[in-house]
Amino acid sequence: MKKIQISPSILSANFSQLGNEIKKLEEGGADMIHIDVMDGHFVPNLTIGPPVIKALRQYTKLPFDVHLMISPVHKYIQDYADAGADIITIHPEATDNLKDSINHIKKLNKKVGISLNPKTKINVITDFLNEIDLILIMSVNPGFGGQKFLPEVLDKIKELKKIRDQKNLDFDIEIDGGINFDNSKLAIEAGANILVSGTTIFKNNDGNIKKNIDLLKSS
Ligand code: DX5
Ligand code: ZN
CA 204 vs CA 122, 146, 216: distances in Å: 33, 12, 11
Number of domains in the chain: 1
Structural contact between residues 161 and 191, judged by C-beta atoms closer than 8 angstroms: yes
Q: Which domain holds residue 149?
A: 5-217
> How confident is the prediction for the chain on average, in pLDDT?
98
DSSP state letter for 149: P
Angle at 67 between CA 22 and CA 161, to 5 degrees: 110
118 lines ligand 1 (CB under 6 A): no
48-77, pLDDT tens digit by residue? 999 999 999 999 999 999 999 999 999 999
The residue from 31, 36, 39, 172 that is catalytic is 36
Measured on CA atoms in the order 103, 105, 108, 112, is the torsion positive or negative?
negative
Is 100 catalytic? The answer is no
* Atom nearest to 45 CA in ligand 1: 6
Q: How would residue 1 be classed by pLDDT, with cut points 50, 70 and 90?
A: confident
CATH classification at residue 117: 3.20.20.70
Alpha helices (runs of H) in the chain, residue ranges in sequence order: 18-27, 50-56, 77-83, 98-107, 154-167, 183-190, 199-203, 209-217
Distance, in Å, from the CA atom of 61 to the CA atom of 73, rounded to the nearest integer, reads: 26
Cα 1 to ligand 1 centroid, rounded to whole Å: 25
